Amino acid sequence: MCAEGVELVDIVDEFDQVVRVVTRPEMRAQRLRHRAVFIAVQGSDGRLLVHQRSYDKDVRPGAWDIAVGGVVGSGESYDAAAVRELAEEVGLHGVLPTPVGGGTFGDESFELIGRCYHVIADGPFVFADGEVLQTRWVNRAELDELLLTHDVMSDSVALLLDCGLITVTG
């Protein structure tokens, strides 16, 4: 963060090398390639925790997401961002999820390099930052149904599929 409280983001090239630092609003407005983390939260029973994003989010408000995560801050490592996002979004403090791979993603909203993580946790979860409207646990069939019937964050779906954290049959 800079002195005014504006989040700073590293802009990276296709090799994940930092080329400059901008504010988060600049990154969004110009659709600049940045780093992000995606954490699949799975219960001990095998179900996946999914959540509906707040209507205050800067991209795809109200959409469903199958991963906890977000933008990696300037100078922050992927692992540190994953730990921070778990604490901020679901209240799991000091938990280092297992890294499982990564990849690139781009669409009309995003251009990013992402790293995927996995954690097994049954809660309790705390959704204190206002980024989550509601959550559910889904099994594989329910995940397929969610993907077919709801607006779901395409970056999370693509990267978790690429990393082998989810499979779909639909």
pLDDT for res 164: 87
CATH architecture of 37-162: Alpha-Beta Complex (3.90)
The set of residues, in sequence order, having a beta carbon less than 8 Å from that of 139 and lying 6+ positions away, is: 46, 47, 48
**pTM for the structure as a whole:** 0.92
Q: Which of 22, 3, 2, 4 is nearest to 12 (CA)?
A: 22
Per-residue pLDDT of the chain (170 residues; tens, 9 = 90+): 554 678 999 999 999 999 999 999 999 999 999 999 999 999 999 999 999 998 988 888 999 999 999 999 999 999 999 999 999 889 999 888 999 999 999 998 889 999 999 999 998 898 877 788 899 999 999 999 999 999 999 999 999 999 988 887 75
pLDDT for res 5: 78
Helix (H, G, I), strand (E, B) or coil at 11: strand
pLDDT for res 143: 95
